[in-house]
Amino acid sequence: MKPRTLLVFSGITLIIALVGTSTATGQSSTRGDNAEFQAAANSSSLDQRIAQKMALIRDGEKRGLEPLKLGRLWAHLASDYLDAMELPKSEAAFNRALGLLEPLPGAQKDYAIVLNGLGSLYVMSGKFDESERCRKRALAMGETTGDKLEVARDKALLAEVYLARHKYKAAHREAIESYTEMVALENPNISEVISALVSLIFAECFRGECASALEHARQALVLTRSTFAADSLEAGQAHLALGFAEWKTGTKDSPEDEMRAGIEIMKARTSLRHPYTLSALEQYRRYLVSVHRKQEARKIAQELAQFEAAHPPACSSCTMSVYGLQRPKRKRK
């Protein structure tokens, strides 16, 4: 089986915001045997959201809804398709949103958010050139507005692309700047702080700075536990990052327990088809190989290979193009 790019999570909270996956604190859902039930319930709810948004779009187009509101509806639909891993439909909807928002003088922030959503799609489908272009463009737009939170968020998302492209020095630069800028803000978004931390953890470890990564990973898990539910996606990414850092530092803690906890959350909150779940399983497989548990690693590899054979790449028909990025952006007056 062809090795996957190892786990990349810096953009997960923006993706959560875009696709509408719940991360609210409160009573945790039952885990373990109920993971498949939870995933099925999420899928049913998602289908309903997609149908509702399509109906709103059709009605809005008939009524001549203003472009800003219609563009936002297309963006939300694109995000739901992204959550459902309907990547060609998601790409088309993102491009419809960009086409509506691009000419509007007051829609610069919306336009940048949609660019980042499209960038997430391209990360998921392995089109890193396109993703980097989207996210650099969004970052440049954020810098012109002076919105410190948007700039910090955009840097974390760009770090994700650099990690996927194995540009670890650049990933570390963007991630550390993002994290530092976020914590300097008054009342920062904790979900986004955790994402920036996770990007930093992987960048540090890939640069041979795993001791620092381990400290940041422990910090991320403590922060997650103080803020989010035990089965939230934030908790999932924190467990996986800590497991990775523990594995790479040879710590006597329990990297396997952390990885398995993260995988369980990913399966319950997304689906086996989702790149984050697949990547988490691949991380665990590599860990098993490294500790000479080859039979268990082989079983996971066989399961992943069977799944890939039954589910061809979700984005085989994507256009590889990005709306409006072929020409310089006009300056707003």
151, 181 in Cβ contact below 8 A? yes
pTM recorded for the entire structure: 0.77
Q: Alpha carbon 242 to chain centroid distance?
A: 18
- pLDDT tens, residue by residue, 265-320: 988 887 677 777 888 899 999 999 999 999 999 999 988 888 777 665 554 333 33
For the chain, domains (ranges, CATH) are 12-20+36-310 (1.25.40.10)
Residue 44: per-residue pLDDT: 63
Mean pLDDT of the chain: 81
Residue 307: per-residue pLDDT: 75
45, 104 in Cβ contact below 8 A? no
4, 282 in Cβ contact below 8 A? yes
Q: If you ran DSSP here, which 8-state letter would residue 270 be given?
A: S
- pLDDT tens, residue by residue, 39-81: 444 556 888 999 999 999 999 999 999 999 999 999 999 999 9
pLDDT at 210 over 60: yes
Name the pLDDT band for 128 (thresholds 50, 70, 90).
very high
Task: Name the residue with tokens 């149908």.
Answer: 51
Q: If you ran DSSP here, which 8-state letter would residue 308 be given?
A: H
Q: Between 10 and 268, name the one with better pLDDT.
A: 268
Of the given ranges (122-126, 177-181, 256-260, 315-319), which has the lowest mean pLDDT? 315-319
